[in-house]
């Protein structure tokens, strides 16, 4: 896998181009890679941008439903909830996704 292939996959996930996403996944690009320049997963990016079909395709083809997207600080479940993607929330919960637990002392921090 070259970073260019992953960048093209990421761009397609962000823009809603399912054909390009399919091409790169079928070519073996890792959907869970986070490029050091971008630090976001294609799955979280597709959820933020509202590309449900791409999110479902990525989940069906190896995207980790638990993987934190470093740049956004969101897991797929958090991104889906935050952006109102209820169908994907249901699917992620069915796959065992859970909200990350915060250390107990964080409960007292003002939000």
More confident of the two residues 32 and 96: 32
pLDDT-derived band at 25 (thresholds 50, 70, 90) equals very high
Domain boundaries, the chain: 3-99
CB 63 within 8 Å of CB 79: no
Q: Could you tell me how far CA 68 lies from the centroid of its own chain?
A: 8
CA distances from 1 to 9, 17, 28, 31, 56 (A): 11, 20, 7, 11, 22
pTM: 0.82
> Tell me, what's the pLDDT at 50?
94
More confident of the two residues 110 and 37: 37
The fourth-level CATH superfamily of domain 3-99 is Ankyrin repeat-containing domain (1.25.40.20)
Q: Identify the residue whose tokens are 């093209």.
A: 8
């Amino acid at each position: 896998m070259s970073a260019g292939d992953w960048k093209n996959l990421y761009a397609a996930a962000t823009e809603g181009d399912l054909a390009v996403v399919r091409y790169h996944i079928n070519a073996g690009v890792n959907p869970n890679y986070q490029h050091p320049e971008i630090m976001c997963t294609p799955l979280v990016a597709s959820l933020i941008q509202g590309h449900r079909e791409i999110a479902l395709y990525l989940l069906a083809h190896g995207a980790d439903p638990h993987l934190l997207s470093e740049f956004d600080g969101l897991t797929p479940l958090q991104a889906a909830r935050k952006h109102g993607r209820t169908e994907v929330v249901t699917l992620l919960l069915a796959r065992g996704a859970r909200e990350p637990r915060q250390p107990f002392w964080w409960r007292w921090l003002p939000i």
